[in-house]
Chains A and B, each alone.
Chain A
Amino acid sequence: MDALLNVNEGFPLLSFLIFFPLAGAVVLFFYSEEKFARLWTLLITTLEAIFSIPLLIGFDSGTAKYQFAEAHAWVPQWNINYILGVDGISILLVMLSTLIMPFCVLASWKYIKKRVTQFMFCLLIMQVSMVGLFVALDFILFWVFWEFMLIPMYLLIAVWGGPRKDYASIKFFLYTMAGSVFLLVAILALYVKNGSFFIPDMMWQNYSTTFQVLVFLAFFLAFAIKVPMFPLHTWLPAAHVEAPTAGSVILASVLLKMGTYGMLRFCIPITPDATFMLAPFILWLSIAGIIYGGFTALAQSDMKKLIAYSSVGHMGFVTLGIFVLNTRGIEGSIIQMINHGVTTGALFLCVGMIYERTHSRELSVAQGCGKVMPWYATFLGLFCLSSFGFPGTNSFIGEFMILAGTFEYSTGLALAAIPGAVLAAAYMLRMLQKLLYGTENNPDQSHLKDLSIREITVLAPFALFVFWIGLGPQPFVDLIHTSVANLLDQLHNWQQVQGVAQVLLQ
């Protein structure tokens, strides 16, 4: 075990990042005044973001080991342990989930008017489970966080959601639960084989092909629902439309990434043979999702639905990049996960800001608002361009790397994904045109106020990351490169060993 872990002897940073928001949430039990709750949550999430920066500074991008690792016994009789660690695959996702939270709090400042304290409590609990999930190295611990996260998210939609919140929240809950059940079965099956819940122990083991395929399918179902991959995506538009802004942002930026993170972390190394066997199907499923998401987004008149369907398309690119199984593809996927978090998160914030003003998400109600809100128009324009992969912005880099990886894998497959990029431009420009210009008969928008300082503060960091990743992605790629290279090395070794074994058997 130690060969894989760079055990952290000093301050247990990862545990701190998990339990600090929990402690913050407990305080809200005792002081539940609304104004205090807002400020307190902002403080806690900001501190959490600041405390996560040492993680980035101390991260050694030269090794594929799990760093900042902590290992303690938890339930020794079943060999369940409390093991944490980050590597190149998870580091950016951890950073994304800590950095995005203060902005979610700021975005809910005026939006949430009832049960403010409880809302803030839910946000803090979300924070706990998001960080925990990405750093957990014990499968039971991972599963606990995976399930734990459902509850605050369910509440965010069911309590503070829109008119169809009951439908949306229950659909979200049922879909994700259905996936988790299979996930648990797969975890237990792996435990029976290995006698350990330590995730790296389960990787690269000689399971039979049938076993691998079954485990893979169980994993895949759970993760594909979370991503969501076509045709398991139908919970997403409903959840996005009804969720409050902060809920949508968390959902889009972090929760969806848990699915693709799971595919990278579990599917490939635990069930490599099944991965090779089933990858072609998943690739074409991704293409279907990209095209389907694009066409559906093009037909929406509700802005949140539009962005929700665009997520289906964008996440299709991410799964495409993962399952071409080469360096460019997988690195592109991880970068694209971050990009999607930044851009789509920002787009949901933008929609939320319009909703606070017009109390509608319909394009026809908001059309032409750009004329009286120049700052809003600037930010929205930037994020829309970023979303459809305008060169020089973050998503371009992600799509570029993923498509380069796909071209290495198969020219036909890559060409099949291209219409998705065209559709992305089409629906984003359509939305932009409607909001900035509209038609000759726009509703009177003169009463709308342009963005406040608070709102500009919320959007500006997202804009910074759009350009930062868009114009200087190399430092981000360097962070993840060693881990991805290690994963692929092992995968190719595995393939060779299996090839030799096949020959020997014959």
Chain B
Amino acid sequence: MDPVSTTANIVENSTLGLAVMIPLFGALVVMTLKNNVNLREAVSFCASVLLFCIVLSFIPAIREGKTLVYTVFNLLPGLSITLRADGFSMIFAMVASSLWMIAVFYSLGYMRAHDEPCQTRFNACFALAIFGAIGVALSDNLFTLYLFYEIVSVCTYPLVAHHQDEEGYSGARKYIVYLTTTAKMFLLPALILIYVLVGNLDFPHDMHTGMFPADTKSWVIVMLYVFCILGFAKNGLMPLHHWLPGAMVAPTPVSALLHAVAVVKVGVFCTTRTMLYVFGVDTMSMLNLGIPTAYFVGFTIIMASVIALTKDNLKARLAYSTVSQLAYIILGVALLTPHGIEGGLIHIVNHAFSKITLFFCAGAIYIAAHKKLISEMGGLGRTMPFTFGAFAIASLSMIGVPPVAGFVSKWYLLVGSMEAHQVGILLILITSTVLNVAYFAPVTYKAFFGKRPEGEVDAGIKEAPLTMLIPILIAATISVIIGIYPNFMMQFVKAVTG
């Protein structure tokens, strides 16, 4: 792409600022509506719908190959808070804004059915987390990315510590310690060193060139690369993944938000954004950074799946499944082949919808039957057919069975690994698929065909309330739809890979 056509395609658009302001403003309004719960939930819902519409309004321009930008603050030369919508940011912006709508509805059902305390704070922090996530999605430079990344860390702390008991505090402490320590320890120096080397922190407009001038020493780039991979600890890569199972103490809607939308996806989005736009495909292949990264995350894929096998607590099993699935995304990008990158990026979307379905189901099971352990869920599928039906669909997606969403990403990942001539990666993907089957299939099987635990009476357990069931079914349906018609989201991914 020649520079003239690049600059011609960059359009100033202040609606981007509005997109980021809506969740923030929504959170502030929610805080004032402590005494009017219905209005409070209505505000959250309206904000989420509004945000989704605004994100949709960017699509025509992106289709024309344009990039929207909007500078909010100019701090110092080369250091600004600037927003950008391009194909890459749309992938995540679409996911975050659409899932917020579903999640608002679901958490309304969950929080009221469970009679949770401090629902105002919960709603406000939820909106703030989305504020951070949208900001990450729409950031135009590394500083803006870092700013919103940190906002997500801080604003989700009250959500993790929601129950305000010893368990909640220790989970939340682990959460914040892992996330802020890694960000300060690795990300901050990387950010500053890149600023010193390059003179600004702006992402280029294609994924090949990267930011670094040609004369940068290669050991410096490698060091910065390692810092960036470790610094975005929200990506759940081993060995810095412990915060994620620790955060399981939070209410289920929070876990769903954490795993599907706000936190871990922010982590992988940031990681892949930096891999492709800070370092760039050319630099990464020149310094041979891609394949070692792929093997490094391959270890996480296998290990996390094995750990998931050993967990009887449904949420813990899902948590380790997330750790493993996130690594798929980074693995795909690290392959540095077009199909690999496409497979990785589309998995951001596919995993989001399927995983939020799984967590919603776990929450519904807990509300309806007060059960957390898989071993106690025998025969429960017969009383809760819709919940477990949705669970089955979503686990098929995780395993990668057609026509559910996960199949698309796995297909591209497999093609990508062949393009890269990496038999080892191919084996990792196949092994992990087998492991996925091993830890997901028994849950569904037991629920539908297993026996009730002895001595348990049937009475009292019903299907989950409608306010929870509807979002579950919507999320499950979308998982199927994007599996059958992947092209709607693929257009944004294709815009990235050109």
Interface residues of A (CB under 8 A from B): 385, 390-392, 397, 400-401, 403-404, 407-408, 411, 414-415, 418-419, 421-422, 425-426, 429, 433, 437, 439-440, 471-474, 477
Contact = CB atoms under 8 A, between A and B. Distances in A.
Given A407-B189, A422-B184, 8 more contacts: A390-B150, A392-B147, A404-B196, A407-B192, A419-B185, A433-B173, A440-B164, A477-B76
Q: Is the interface of B mostly helix, strand, loop or mixed?
A: helix
Interface string B160-182: 01001110010001001100110
A397 B173 CA distance: 27
Contacts of A477: 76
B144 to A, nearest CB: 9
A400 B80 CA distance: 13
A385 B184 CA distance: 13
A242 B225 CA distance: 48
Contacts of A392: 81, 147
A93 to B, nearest CB: 21
A338 to B, nearest CB: 15
A439 B169 contact: yes
Contacts of B176: 429
Contacts of B220: 411
B188 A418 contact: yes
Given A390-B150, A391-B147, A425-B181, A474 B75 contact: yes
A408 B196 contact: yes
18 contacts: A392-B147, A403-B188, A403-B189, A404-B195, A404-B196, A407-B189, A414-B193, A418-B184, A418-B188, A421-B184, A422-B185, A425-B180, A425-B181, A426-B177, A426-B180, A433-B173, A440-B164, A473-B75
Nearest to A390: B150
B74 A474 contact: yes
A192 to B, nearest CB: 43
A418 B74 contact: no
Contacts of A390: 150, 154
Contact of B188 (A397, A401, A421, A471): A421
B146 interface: yes
Nearest to A428: B180
B146 A411 contact: no
Nearest to A423: B184
Contacts of A425: 180-181, 184
B180 A385 contact: no
A467 to B, nearest CB: 10
Most buried by B among A391, A403, A421, A477: A391
Contacts of B488: none
Given A397-B75, A404-B195, A472-B73, A437 B181 contact: no
B185 A440 contact: no
B77 to A, nearest CB: 8
Nearest to B180: A425
Contacts of B189: 403, 407, 414-415, 418
A437 B118 CA distance: 13
B143 interface: yes
Contacts of A415: 189
A403 B73 contact: no
A37 B11 CA distance: 60
Nearest to B145: A391
A404 B169 contact: no
Nearest to A399: B188
Given A418-B188, A471-B81, A472-B73, A440 B173 contact: no
Interface in B123-165: 143, 146-147, 150, 154, 161, 164-165
Contacts of B181: 422, 425-426
Contacts of A385: 154
A391 B184 contact: no
Contact of B185 (A401, A418, A437, A472): A418
A411 B76 contact: no
B81 A440 contact: no
Contacts of B180: 422, 425-426, 429
B446 to A, nearest CB: 36
B469 to A, nearest CB: 34
B442 to A, nearest CB: 37
A125 to B, nearest CB: 38
A437 B196 CA distance: 39
A473 B185 contact: no
A473 B76 contact: yes
Given A390-B150, A421-B184, A407 B196 contact: yes
A440 B166 contact: yes
A375 B73 CA distance: 27
Nearest to B188: A421
A452 B177 CA distance: 34
A153 B247 CA distance: 48
A435 to B, nearest CB: 14
Contacts of B164: 437, 440
A429 B75 CA distance: 26
A366 B195 CA distance: 41
8 closest Cβ contacts across the A-B interface? A391-B147, A422-B184, A471-B73, A407-B196, A403-B192, A425-B180, A421-B184, A418-B189
Given A439-B169, A440-B165, A472-B75, A391 B177 contact: no
Contacts of A403: 188-189, 192
A380 to B, nearest CB: 14
A433 B157 CA distance: 10
A411 B197 CA distance: 11
B76 A474 contact: yes
Contact of B76 (A397, A421, A422): A397
A415 B192 CA distance: 11
Contacts of B185: 418-419, 422
Contacts of B73: 471-472
B295 to A, nearest CB: 27
A85 B173 CA distance: 51
Given A418-B185, A429-B176, A471-B81, A404 B165 contact: no
A407 B188 CA distance: 12
Nearest to B185: A422
A404 B193 CA distance: 7
Contacts of A391: 143, 146-147, 150
B372 to A, nearest CB: 21
Contacts of A419: 185
B263 to A, nearest CB: 17
Interface in B60-98: 73-76, 79, 81
Nearest to A441: B166
Contacts of B192: 400, 403-404, 407, 414
Nearest to A424: B184
Interface in B187-225: 188-189, 192-193, 195-196, 220
Nearest to A474: B76
Contacts of B188: 403, 418, 421
A414 B192 CA distance: 10
Contacts of A401: 76
Nearest to A408: B196
A472 B192 CA distance: 18
Contacts of B196: 404, 407-408
Contacts of A397: 75-76
Contacts of B161: 437
A439 B166 contact: yes
B119 to A, nearest CB: 15
Contacts of B154: 385, 390
A439 B177 CA distance: 17
Nearest to A420: B184
A411 B223 CA distance: 11
B305 to A, nearest CB: 32
Contacts of B75: 397, 471-474
Contacts of A440: 164-166, 169
Contacts of A421: 184, 188
Contacts of A418: 184-185, 188-189
B168 to A, nearest CB: 9
B193 A407 contact: yes
B163 to A, nearest CB: 10
